[in-house]
Amino acid sequence: KAGVTQTPRYLIKTRGQQVTLSCSPISGHRSVSWYQQTPGQGLQFLFEYFSETQRNKGNFPGRFSGRQFSNSRSEMNVSTLELGDSALYLCASSYLRGARTGYTFGSGTRLTVV
Amino acid sequence: GIQVEQSPPDLILQEGANSTLRCNFSDSVNNLQWFHQNPWGQLINLFYIPSGTKQNGRLSATTVATERYSLLYISSSQTTDSGVYFCAVVRRGSTLGRLYFGRGTQLTVWP
């Protein structure tokens, strides 16, 4: 069974640009969540999608957005990039929104903003 | 939210030693997971353990939900055990699938 796939693995962008990250969950999983990891703030929740609807959103500015497609694949977008957006972005999938079996994470996308 | 505290923040061991990592949380939970973050950044799921005890090889975990803590035991540690260990929880009663993470324990195992 394939795991959670995140693409790309690495990205370098310039301030002011925008970026789109992709996450393909485990087959059959309908819940996809996104997390940002930085040395200073640790792992912080960005948002969660379930059945193509955003169900929960963390405390991030509107520059951070996402969506989920009918096949459960999810994308997140960051517009007008700032240096502080440099981070490891992790995606997690689960079948029942974390219940009973928990979440499985992808390998992450490491974003560097210069 | 819910506060998750992990201790110790850093742990240095020689190969073969045993260790115990602790996770305290401030509210009732219906999901608790232990993860190991490898050097490439991926969070590897070790245990899904909202209560009780589980074992997987040299690793075992115990969660005492009524007292709001969980322990991760690593026996006969190996250099490949090095990395950061995270505890993460979902608050009980929450219909929202949001994990709250601790700051992690950085484990270094020397040969």
Tokens 């929740």 label which residue? A45
pLDDT of residue B10: 97
pLDDT beyond 90 at B19: yes
Which pLDDT tens digit goes with each residue over A36-86?
A: 999 999 999 999 999 899 988 999 999 999 999 999 999 999 999 999 999
Nearest C-alpha neighbor of A9 from the set A103, A91, A114: A91
Partner residues linked to B105 by β-bridges: B85
B60 touches chain A (CB under 8 A): no
Contact A107 B103 (CB under 8 A): no
Which pLDDT tens digit goes with each residue over B55-99?
A: 999 999 999 999 999 999 999 999 999 999 999 998 887 666 789
Average pLDDT value for residue range A2-12: 95
Q: Is A91 left (phi over 0), alpha (psi -120 to 50) or beta?
A: beta
Interface of A with B in 38-97 (CB under 8 A): 42-43, 45, 48, 50, 55-56, 58, 88, 90, 92, 94, 97
Contact A56 B90 (CB under 8 A): no
A107 touches chain B (CB under 8 A): yes
pLDDT of residue B106: 97
Nearest C-alpha neighbor of B87 from the set B48, B34, B38, B13: B34
Range list of H helices, chain B: none
pLDDT beyond 80 at A1: no
Peptide bond preceding A25 in cis form (omega within 30 of 0): no
Average pLDDT value for residue range B13-38: 95
Nearest C-alpha neighbor of A12 from the set A76, A79, A71, A83: A83
